[in-house]
Amino acid sequence: MQKSVSDNIIITEHLFLIMEALSYGRPYKDIHHTDISNINTSLIHMDNATRIIIHIDMDAFFAAVEIRDDPSLKGKPLIIGMLPHERGVVSTCNYEARAYGVHSAMSIKTAFHLCPNGIYMHPNIAKYINVSHQIHAIWDQYTDLIEHVSLDEGYLDVTHSVHLFGGAKRIALEIKRKTLAETGLTCSVGIGYSMMSAKLASEEKKPDGLYVISNPKALKRLIADRDVRSIHGIGEKTAEALKRIGICTVREMEQNQDIVIQMMGQNGVQLLALADGTDNRLVSSFSEPKSIGKEHTFQHDVQDFIYLQEVLHLIAHELSYEIQLRELSCRTVTLKITYSDMRQITRSTSGETLYRSGDIFNAASSMLQKIERRWVRLIGISLSGLTKSRQMSFIDNHKASIDDTLFSIQRRYGRQSIQTGSELHARKQVDGD
Ligand code: TTP
Ligand code: MG
Ligand code: MG
């Protein structure tokens, strides 16, 4: 049976007190004059700009759109992706199919094995994009600080608009109501004091849920006994490696902080901060670029491939800095060469997501080894397949922590504040060009 929206509302802790206070039309800054001593110190925890963030994610998105358009599918397991006789994976499936163990990214073969009676359909992406525009138009009514994560998901920073609408809870309910009325679809909404807490909150009562995580204490209580993958940035690989040393839950991670830091360096420090409820990421409404690239055109054509490697080194450092600033990583590295006769070639390689200069350089450099050795006029690298989700890995731990520390210093004190010896060397070579 479909749960009603109100059944799903669970408001934890004290965030609603702020929201209710705000709902009486007082400007947001007034909250600072409110006596909070009897509310709880949890409010104090919201000091990193006291943000109120709403995370929205549509329920079984592709499948829900298809069921809306063909009600005869309702109640039956529906799998969107490839068809059983094709090679490929599940894009998504409805909750009835999930009961059979089917899930996104599973091979269709496995899905069919688990759920032979399911209905299998190809996705209609154009249709989903239209719905996506409709839901974005609803979100736009509540704030202009929106980060679109995917077709069905986004973060709304409502900190500065919440008082206009009678509180974050009211915004959430209105969004759910309008989404249902205008698209015929349900979504799950999370309200939090940070991006991670808002996302965890939206996942908490799926489908058609609404949940609030108002402070780090509530967040920690919620995830303490969960798999470490509850923490933003911990992917499959890192979780597996932690498991190998007996760390499965967030609590176990916190109990073994020294080991985590020893293993993962700066990444470990960041992940422990997230586990402790500190997430200072800001909702960013800048739409992400599709690719980021840099090129170098030589004053005089070059045939010295060792020299070309130096240039690649430099470009890799610059690009690594750029994508880290945007908290992105990339899946594809493309090497571009223009020969002296203006003939242009590109070579690409795709694999695991990466963002460190060493990894970018290695990918570009190995492509350079394989190209025709002629006079070169221009060399460049571009990074595409950009994604926000960064899988933190501790492979090559020592090198990784140096890279990450360098970036932290550069972000704080400027790009030129510190550079590796290899970069300085490369710069010297190229400057002399
Ligand atoms: P999700 O929001 O991850 O999943 P969902 O909306 O289908 O289900 P949930 O209720 O758990 O949120 O992804 C949104 C859509 O993106 C999904 O409907 C299909 C597509 N998608 C893929 O094509 N491949 C994937 O691996 C995933 C995760 C999603
Ligand atoms: Mg979804
Ligand atoms: Mg989603």
Is residue 397 one of the residues assigned to a domain? yes
Is residue 119 one of the residues assigned to a domain? no
> How far apart, in whole angstroms, are the C-alpha atoms of residue 355 and residue 330?
6
Q: Measured in whole angstroms, how far is the alpha carbon of residue 232 from the centre of its chain?
A: 8
53 in helix, strand or coil? strand
CA of 207 to the centre of ligand 2 (A): 9
Q: Are residues 37 and 151 in the same domain?
A: yes
Q: Are residues 381 and 303 in the same domain?
A: yes
393 in helix, strand or coil? coil
60 lines ligand 1 (CB under 6 A): yes
Return the pLDDT at 36: 25
User: Could you tell me the CA-to-CA distances from 284 to 122, 149, 178, 287, 341 in Å, in that order?
Assistant: 33, 10, 24, 8, 43
Amino acid identity of residue 2, one-letter, is Q
Return the pLDDT at 401: 66
Is residue 103 one of the residues assigned to a domain? no
Q: Are residues 199 and 254 in the same domain?
A: no
C-beta separation of 146 from 154 below 8 A: yes
C-beta separation of 312 from 361 below 8 A: yes
186 lines ligand 1 (CB under 6 A): no
Q: Are residues 266 and 331 in the same domain?
A: no
116 in helix, strand or coil? coil
Query: What CATH code is carried by the domain that includes residue 14?
Result: 3.30.70.270
Q: Using one digit for the tens of pLDDT, what is the confidence trace for 398-418?
A: 556 677 777 777 776 666 667
**Closest C-alpha to 314, from 391, 424, 208:** 424
Q: Is the pLDDT of residue 423 over 90?
A: no
Q: Are residues 307 and 180 in the same domain?
A: no
Q: Using one digit for the tens of pLDDT, what is the confidence trace for 154-179?
A: 999 999 999 999 999 999 999 999 99
CA of 188 to the centre of ligand 2 (A): 8
The mean per-residue pLDDT over the stretch 315-328 comes to: 86
Is residue 64 one of the residues assigned to a domain? no
User: Could you tell me the CA-to-CA distances from 318 to 20, 111, 329, 357, 407 in Å, in that order?
Assistant: 47, 43, 14, 8, 11
The tally of domains found in the chain comes to 3
- Domain endpoint, select from 220, 245, 261: 220
Ligand 1: residue of 91, 95, 102, 151 to mutate (most ligand atoms within 8 A of CB) is: 91
Is residue 41 one of the residues assigned to a domain? yes
Query: What CATH code is carried by the domain that includes residue 366?
Result: 3.30.1490.100
Q: Look at ligand 1, atom 7, and give the residue with the nearest C-alpha.
A: 60
Cβ within 8 Å of residue 431, ≥6 positions away: none
Q: Are residues 257 and 401 in the same domain?
A: no
- Residue 30 is encoded by which pair of tokens? 């007034």
Return the pLDDT at 346: 95
Q: Are residues 143 and 194 in the same domain?
A: yes
- Residue 362 is encoded by which pair of tokens? 């290695």
Q: Are residues 213 and 340 in the same domain?
A: no
Is residue 351 one of the residues assigned to a domain? yes
Is residue 369 one of the residues assigned to a domain? yes
Cα angle 345, 348, 350 (rounded to 5 degrees) comes to 175
92 lines ligand 1 (CB under 6 A): yes
Q: Catalytic amino acids? A: 153
Q: Say how many C-beta atoms besides its own lie within 10 A of residue 312's C-beta.
A: 24
Q: Are residues 297 and 389 in the same domain?
A: yes
Beta strands per DSSP E along 291-401: 291-302, 330-339, 344-354, 376-384
CA of 295 to the centre of ligand 3 (A): 35
CA of 61 to the centre of ligand 1 (A): 6
Q: Using one digit for the tens of pLDDT, what is the confidence trace for 362-373?
A: 999 999 999 999
431 band by pLDDT with thresholds 50, 70 and 90: low
- Residue 123 is encoded by which pair of tokens? 């996705």
> How far apart, in whole angstroms, are the C-alpha atoms of residue 342 and residue 172?
56
Return the pLDDT at 106: 94
Return the pLDDT at 207: 97
Q: Are residues 263 and 344 in the same domain?
A: no
Give the domain range for residue 234: 226-275
> How far apart, in whole angstroms, are the C-alpha atoms of residue 184 and residue 201?
23
User: What percent of the chain stands above pLDDT 90?
Assistant: 65
